[in-house]
Structure 1
Amino acid sequence: MKERSARPLAPPLPDGARNENPKDIGFWALVAEDFRTHDGDWLSQGFWALFWHRFGNWRMSVRSKLLRAPLTAVYRIMFKATEIFCGVKLSYNVPVGRRVKIEHFGGIIVGARRIGDDVVIRQNTTMGVADRRDPNAKPTIGDRVDIGAGAVIIGDITIGADATIGANAVVLEDVPPGALAAGVPARIIPRAARPTPPAGGEPVGVQGAGIATRPSE
């Protein structure tokens, strides 16, 4: 029997040796933006998961290892606390864009290569590798992707901008921009591109094939 050719290994993931926070905004401005994205709720588990993720990246901008050491100790403690009390596992070496919203909480594992801007992630979502022989094979999530509850997105795949991942979908292949992926395993359903949010608005969710917005505060 003819053997199938092995799939090439995925390129290396970010090594965590540098600050991967968005470069076009300062740390505290980024935290304030995350706070607004989570509806100004200090008790939002999603906000705190992102706060400690941003902190974990910010500390890498402190060049002195001696000065960075106590910050690293704080980060490691709070990373584990966030995993336990918020139900969100999001390592600092996963680059995360701006205005990402973690809706609800619990059972969320974000093992992605990159998360784009304006992404919505819901409870019981898993992103990670599809084959333990290739630990670098993790998904890339484009801008404005809406991920339904219970979704599984695994492997070295790309979820295109403005795509929607249906609840409980198991996504094993690339999803084109603007498409819907639903089912187990997920089927790709092309759709018309979403309208561009009006100036001054922020994406907050999906209504049918469009996207809802709210005015900036």
Structure 2
Amino acid sequence: MAELPVHPSSDPAVRPQSDLDLGRLDHNPPGLSLRALIAEDFATHDRDPFSQGFWAIAVHRFGNWRMGVRVGILRAPLSFLYRVLAKANEWFGGIDIKYTVKVGRRVRIWHHGGMTLEALEIGDDVHIRQNVTFGLRQHGDARWLKPVIGPGCQIGAGAVIVGPIVVGERSTIGANVVLAQDVPPHSIVTVPKPLIRTLRRA
């Protein structure tokens, strides 16, 4: 059996460096310009200019890129524009993904609607379907106690992944799964088959 991954900040009493840096740095994947990243994301979304998933990722990239502008007065109009665009994604695409989520390369959001993607990190080549939720396990948890989605994972429609857990690389999380524990790499997680009983009439 594959070894369980370890969450980088699972102790609620210890504030990790990633949270100290939250909202202060550009966490776009290194080595690529904003233009190159968006071009890659556009290709990942089949070059479809009407893909809500593409626009959600593009706005996310822009939100991180603006943090590289270190002078606050110069960054302010960029921040205003980012907030407007992010809210438009929520209203018209039903996709909520804050710039503070660390998102890898070639992440694809296949569909739209009812999506709250508040993970700590989403790795490279992750595919996400509609009505997916990433976030805290319960109200009042420290804000860094969110899931890490490993590279190459497939997340099915309606999946709920919460808490300080790690979904190991290249795992498949099936539709409507509610997940609050670590998943080893290369796993398949599905909901149990329904119990069907046939009632006989007297």
Q: Report the TM-score when normalising by structure 1.
A: 0.79
Show the counterpart of 2:151: 143
Deviation at 1:11, TM superposition (A): 4.1
Of structures 1 and 2, the one scoring higher in RCO (CA 8 A, sep 6+) is 2
Give the C-alpha shift of residue 137 in structure 1.
Answer: 1.1
Q: What letter is aligned with 1:47? A: F
- The alpha carbon displacement at 1:88 in A equals 0.3
1:180 to 2:165 alignment: no
CA distance in 1, matches of 2:15, 2:168: 19
Structure holding more strand per residue: 1
Unmatched runs of 5 consecutive residues or more in structure 1: 1-6, 185-217
Q: Match of 1:114?
A: 121
Look up the match of 1:80: 87
| Counterpart-to-counterpart distance in 1, 2:76 and 2:96 | 22
Aligned pair partner of 2:74 in 63, 67, 90: 67
Q: 1:136 Cα deviation (Å)?
A: 2.1
RMSD of aligned Cα (Å): 1.3
- Counterpart residue identity of residue 143, structure 1: P
Question: When the two structures are aligned, how many residues end up with a matched partner?
Answer: 178
Would you say the 8 A contact 1:88–1:106 is kept in 2? yes
Q: Kindly, what percent of the aligned residue pairs are identical? A: 51
Whole-angstrom distance in 2 between the partners of 1:106 and 1:81: 13
Written as runs of structure 1 = structure 2, the 5 A alignment for 1:33-182 is: 33-134=40-141, 135-182=143-190
Could you report, residue by residue, the CA deviation over 1:164-204 in whole angstroms, capped at 9, with x for unpaired residues?
A: 000000011001000011127xxxxxxxxxxxxxxxxxxxx
Find the residue that maps to 1:71 and give its secondary structure. helix
Give distance in 2, aligned partners of 1:61 and 1:91.
Answer: 16
Q: Which residue of 1 aligns with 2:26?
A: 19
* Structure that is richer in helix per residue: 2
Structure 2: distance between partners of 1:55 and 1:87? 19
Deviation string 1:113-140 (CA, Å, 9 cap, x unpaired) is 0000000011000000002221321000
Unaligned runs of 5+ in 2: 1-9, 193-202
Please identify, of 65-74 and 127-136, the stretch whose mean Cα deviation from structure 2 is larger. 127-136
TM-score, normalised on structure 2? 0.85
CA distance in 1, matches of 2:35, 2:28: 11
- What corresponds to 2:199 in structure 1? none
Q: C-alpha separation between the residues in 2 aligned to 1:11 and 1:177?
A: 26
Q: Please tell me whether the aligned partners of residues 131 and 137 of structure 1 are also in contact (alpha carbons under 8 angstroms).
A: no
CA–CA distance in structure 1, aligned partners of residues 15 and 110 of structure 2: 30
Please say if residues 19 and 60 of structure 1, whose CA atoms lie closer than 8 Å, have aligned partners that are also in contact.
yes
Residue 109 of structure 1: SS of its match in structure 2? Answer: strand
One-letter amino acid of the structure 2 residue matched with residue 163 of structure 1: S
What's the counterpart of residue 192 of structure 1? none
* 1:191 equivalent in structure 2: none
CA contact (8 A) 1:98 1:118 kept: yes
**Cα deviation, residue 37, structure 1:** 0.2
Could you report, residue by residue, the CA deviation over 1:52-85 in whole angstroms, capped at 9, with x for unpaired residues? 0000000000111111010001001111111110
